[in-house]
Every structure is written in structure tokens, then in C-alpha cells.
Structure 1
Amino acid sequence: MERHSRIYETIEEKLLRFEIFKDNLFHIDDTNKKAANYWLGLNEFADLTHEEFKNNYLSLKPVNTRRDTVNDSSSSSLSTVEIRSNIPKAVDWRKKGAVTPVKNQGSCGSCWALSTIAAIEGINQIVTGNLTALSEQELIDCDTSYNNGCNGGLMDYAFAYIASTGGLHKEEDYPYIMEEGTCAADAKVVTISGYKDVPANNEQSLLKALANQPLSVAIDASGRDFQFYSGGVFDGHCGTSLDHGVAAVGYGSGEKGLDYVIVKNSWGPKWGEKGFIRMKRNTNKPERMCGLYKMASYPTKSK
């Protein structure tokens, strides 16, 4: 309670939360005895049931068919940046200065907006040399034709909106308020040309794209272990029903030879590995871990 500034209004509520906390702690301890490649830990979500956690923090709204790709000025079939014929063994866009600090969506179901912004911040830095934190709040307030603010959305719709409306504000000029607000869509500073979808369930295509820029990706984060992931290469139980928007910012191999994708989450820097999770990528499922390869896309930007 002290660490995470929890205040419970009644003794009944406190007792209820303590029982939930104990149940979560037992799950963490039990999982850590069994899991070999990742581990769980107590965090700010430890007084929430898993259903409460899912209702508050998972908000992607995928559709049965993806949007047709918006035309852009790039002649490349995969990226604005020239594709290497032999992709590197490892890439970490954090080390290349193309990833802003981890943000926290809070109780607003805006993961789709944070995923979109992370990818645009990345390509903007790669093309211009400037890492600029951009406004998720602008998407929440203004991109309302297909997306639903704090009630979920889809990254491709957001890319299309940004390309058609002339760009985005800086985050400092249009700060995040963790709720839906009034649209103020003027004074754009960062633009994109359009976006492209990575072919579904195709590892080579995803790694080629990721070798050139951060990507928006969708995952199934509904497994209970996601709530308390603390470190390691995640290879635990999860499905492929996409319910959370995140950003892929690199890939590599771990100490045990486990290949992984580095994923930037939007649950703050206290979750996971300072806000990131490494997800195993060599599995026997074409969708890969938690549907990671099912629905990836990225913005394009002219130099």
C-alpha cells in the first residue's frame, strides 16, 4: 500500500484487496518454481484480480480484416529506409536513440495510441535524427472516426488518420491526461507519409522490417503471467486473440540461446524489464508467442 500509494476506503475493501494480493502472490511463487526462462514479481497490479486487470489495461479493438494500406511516397515495399539483404543478428533501437522512455497508459484503454506513437517516434528519429516525444492524447481526442479513445482502437486506423490530417503535436504541447478530452488538432510538428502492414505470420518479413525501424504490433496479453512479468525471455502460456497494442523495438538472443523480440509496453517503467518485455520468437506456432506476428505494421516517412 505504501509503495504504490494505495488507499482503501473501508476495512472490507482492504481485506478484499489483501485476499486478492495473497492469491496473486501464490501464483507468482508457484510460477517462479516452474518457469525456466522468465520470472514474475509483485508490482502495482498485485491488488487487482486478473479480470480487473484485463478490463482496465487491455483495449485493442482488432477487426476481421485489416485496412487497405494507405498509399505513400515511399518506393520501398518494406520501409522508408533501404533494406539490408542480410539482416543483423540483433537490433536494439533503444541503443540507437529511436525509443522514448516507457509511458504509462493508466486506466485509459489507449494502448493502440501508445503503440502507434512509439512507431512514429522511431521512424521520425531515424529519418530526421531527432527523438521527439509525440502526443498520444491527440489521437485519443481527435481520431474518432474508427477508434474509440479510452475504449480501444487499432494502430492502422491511427496511422491513416495521422497521414491524412498532417501529423502530430509534441507530447509536451498536448500532454497525456489519462482520459478523453477535447480535440485541438492544430500546429502539427511531425508528419508521416503513410503506413504499411507486415505480412502476417512471416518471421523473415517482420525481422526485415524491424531491422529498419520500430514496429507497432498486437499481442494477446490476457494470460495471467503478463500481469506480473518481471524479467527474462517470456515463453509462458498465452493465446493469439489479440487484445493489446505494443511496439517491437528490437530482437536478439539470450544467454540460453533463446531468440526473442524486444517489446515496449505501456504500463510504466516499473513493470517488466523497466517497462519492456523480451518475448520468445522461435516457437512452433506461425503466429509466434502470443500472436506477436499476426498484425504488425509501421509508418513510412519521406526523407
Structure 2
Amino acid sequence: MKAVILVLVLVAVVQATSLKDILKAEFNAFKLKHHKTYQDASEEFKRLQIFVENKKLIDTHNKRYVAGEESYEMGVNKFSDMTPEEFKTLVLTNLNPADSQEGIDYIYNPSSYVNLPSSVDWRDWGAVNPVKNQGSCASCWAFSAVGSLESHHFITSYQRVSLSEQNLVDCTRGYPYYNQGCSGGWPIEALNYVRDNGGINTASYYPYEGQDNTCRYNKNNIGSKISAVIQIASGNEAALASAVANKGPISVCVDASLFQYYQSGVLNEPLCSQSVDHCVVIDGYGTDSVGGDYWLVRNSWGEYWGENGYIRMARNRNNQCAIASYAIYPLV
């Protein structure tokens, strides 16, 4: 009996050592892929421990996904060595809903939603620029505003243009827009600025820096102008679908606290809150055989996150993650 117990203990030790080695190898591969370096051995050990805990969460979730109990798959990405708190501090933003209604020119609320296509993808029409990367600056709001504006500029003029998020980061802080640059802001205030200012610069003239700087707008390098800012009837997913189908890509703000681990599939999380902390662009919608109805959402964390920089979020599920609460687009 003692011999059996000894064998079982030895097997457990070997398995534990093997698992430890596997996780260490996965961590080393993660560091290499995402160009991670740490200030000292202590910091690296801390990041390894966080990575291991995140990997356990990912693996447990994915077992349920394989069993058909989840609608989306988790995976290791550039955020896998961060705690949820660090992730929120680095890339998410604090948004005060009281500021989200300022400067609206019109409300989009169609009386009928019949004859909408079953699926829409504005990428198929050439109206969507490549996925961008906001870096460690919480400027998602600027990327959301610019992403929608670039598409509407193309739809109106058939001319593709890359516009300057940095122009918005630098020039909408303080009165009268009160965005906070790399500390957060609202797409509505960004578009209010473009309307009031008479335009926004091109990205080639005013490139992205990923940090707060002084406003250097130049009226001789305008990439696009807008005449009005339109809000979709708040919380109305049918109106949002109509706007996406008939107008173009839409700027929205959502609860993105669960984005840290997303890899693929339709993010359907009933516990997702109505408190928004990240802004993105809806480029279309459709229906997935596993995850059901979804919104096709373009993020600003680079093309190596999610589905080539995109996430599909649950549609027609009671405005999940507040996706239809703060939807806007520019009139070009």
C-alpha cells in the first residue's frame, strides 16, 4: 500500500513539474510574440504568476466552449500578463454618461425597420480602413470617432482617407469639449469639435503619438469635414441596425471589461453591465450558427487582437453591454 501511495505521489510530482514547465514555455513564447520585457527578475516572476492565473481562467472557459456551453473562445493575447485592474487602467476609460448627450444635432429613430438585410459588412464595400492601434493611451474614443468618420467620408465621396486621432487627443481637452486625451473622453465631443472646427487633419500630416501633446491643428491639411452629429435612439437595437445598414459604420461605447481574454466567436455575456468604459465602431451585423445574432465591431487594439482586430458582440439581447446606448455617426 505504501508503495502504491509513493508511486502516486511521484506521478503527481512529475505531472506538476511537467505542467510548470509547459506554462513557463508558454510564457516565454508569449513574451517573444508580444515583445515583452520586464524591469527585473522580480517583475518577471510577478508577470509569470499573473499569466498562469489568466491561462487557467482561459483554459477553464474554453473547456466549456468546446462543450457548447459558451458562445465565444478565449485566448492568450498581449494583455495576458495583466490583472483585470491593470487592463482597465491601461486601455479602458472612465466615461460619465451625463456628458454623452452634449452637441447632438439630430436623433435617428426610423418609424419602420422592415426590409433590412439579414447581414451587413461595410468592409465588402471598401468603406472601412484597416484596424488601428491606440497603444497604451486610453484614446479609444478618438479612434471610434475617426473610424466612423473615415467610413462616412468614403461613402459620401468614394475617397479613402486616414484621419488624425492625435488631432482629437490634443485639441479636445478643456473647454468646451472637456475630453481628457489619453485619460479618456467621448466620441460625441470629438465629432462636435470636428463640426465646430471646420474639419480634422489627415493622419499623414498629424500622426498618432499615443500621448497627450499641444494642439497643432492646421487648416491647410484638412482631411474631412462634417455638418452634424447624429445620435441613434438610445438603447434601440432595431434603430441601430437600420443606421448600420442604411447610413454606415457607427461609433458606439460599451462595457469592455470582458474584452481582455476574447479571441473569437460571439461575445454573449448576460452579466455584461450597462456601464461603458470603451468606444469602438460597428461595421456591420449578422447571425452566427453558434453564437446567434451579432454586431461586427472594430476595435483599436491592433489586428492581432480578437478576430483580426474585430470582436463579434451579441445583438438583440436586451442591449447587452450597452452597445446601443451611445451610438452616433457624423453627417459628412
Q: TM-score, normalised by structure 2?
A: 0.83
1:193 paired residue among 210, 227, 235:
227
**Pairing partner for 1:222 from 257, 263, 266:** 257
Aligned partner of residue 200 in structure 1, secondary structure:
coil
Instruction: Please tell me the residue identity of whatever aligns with 1:263.
Output: V
The residue aligned with 1:122 is 151
Q: CA deviation at 1:56?
A: 0.5
Shift of residue 140, structure 1, vs aligned partner = 0.4
Partner of 1:27: 57
Return the offset for 1:13: 0.8
Unaligned segments of structure 2, at least 5 residues: 1-30
More helix by share: 2
Structure 2: distance between partners of 1:32 and 1:126: 39
SS in 2 for 1:279: strand
Pairwise mapping of residues 103-182 of structure 1 onto structure 2 (< 5 A)?
103-144=132-173, 145=175, 146-182=178-214
Query: What is the number of equivalent residue pairs in this alignment?
Result: 289
Q: Is the 8 A contact 1:67 1:157 kept in 2?
A: no
Shift of 1:66: 3.3
Contact 1:215 1:247 in 2 (8 A): yes
Alignment partner, residue 300 of structure 1: 331
**1:171 Cα deviation from its structure 2 partner:** 0.9
Instruction: Note the alpha carbon deviations across 1:80-131, whole angstroms, 9 max, x for none.
Output: xxx9962211110111111111111111010100000001001000000012
Of structures 1 and 2, the larger Rg is shown by: 2
Of 55, 59, 65, which aligns to 2:93? 59
TM-aligned CA deviation for residue 69 of structure 1: 4.3
Amino acid at match of 2:58: I
Unaligned ranges ≥5, structure 1: none
Aligned AA (1:55): T
Query: In 1, are the aligned partners of 2:200 and 2:225 still within 8 Å (CA)?
Result: yes
- 1:234 corresponds, among 267, 272, 275, to 267
Matched, 1:289 2:289: no
* Structure 1 residues 115 and 14, CA gap change in structure 2 (3 angstroms): same
Q: In structure 2, the residue corresponding to 1:2 is in which secondary structure?
A: helix
The percentage of counterpart residues that share the same residue type is 40
Name the residue aligned to 1:261: 295
Q: TM-score, normalised by structure 1?
A: 0.91
CA RMSD between the two structures: 1.8
- Return the structure number with greater relative CO, CA threshold 8 A, min gap 6: 1
